[in-house]
């Protein structure tokens, strides 16, 4: 809580964090696959590699 008693952080187990992270990554992967519907179809592995590339590119920025 901050000085105004507003929540500013949470603490969760690593297992819960990893599950949330997996759900978000799966959602992102589905979005990438949807975006490519009008383009060449990506296999699951290709979509995953592309997603990782975008994720790493975003982290570097």
- What is the average pLDDT across 39-55? 80
To the nearest 10°, report the CA torsion of 22, 17, 20, 28: -50
Tell which wins on pLDDT, 61 or 28: 28
Structure tokens at 47: 């979509």
Within a 10 A sphere around the Cβ of 8, how many other Cβ atoms?
A: 8
pTM of this prediction?
0.52
Structure tokens at 16: 């819960």
Assign 28 a pLDDT band (cuts: 50, 70, 90): confident
In this predicted structure, what is the pLDDT of residue 59?
Answer: 66
In this predicted structure, what is the pLDDT of residue 38?
Answer: 67
Whether pLDDT at 61 is above 60? no
In this predicted structure, what is the pLDDT of residue 56?
Answer: 84
């Amino acid at each position: 809580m901050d000085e105004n008693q507003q929540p500013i952080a949470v603490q969760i187990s690593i297992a819960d964090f990893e599950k949330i992270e997996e759900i978000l990554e799966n959602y992102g992967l589905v979005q990438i696959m949807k975006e490519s519907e009008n383009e060449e179809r990506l296999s699951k592995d290709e979509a995953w590699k592309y997603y990782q590339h975008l994720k790493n590119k975003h982290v570097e920025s």
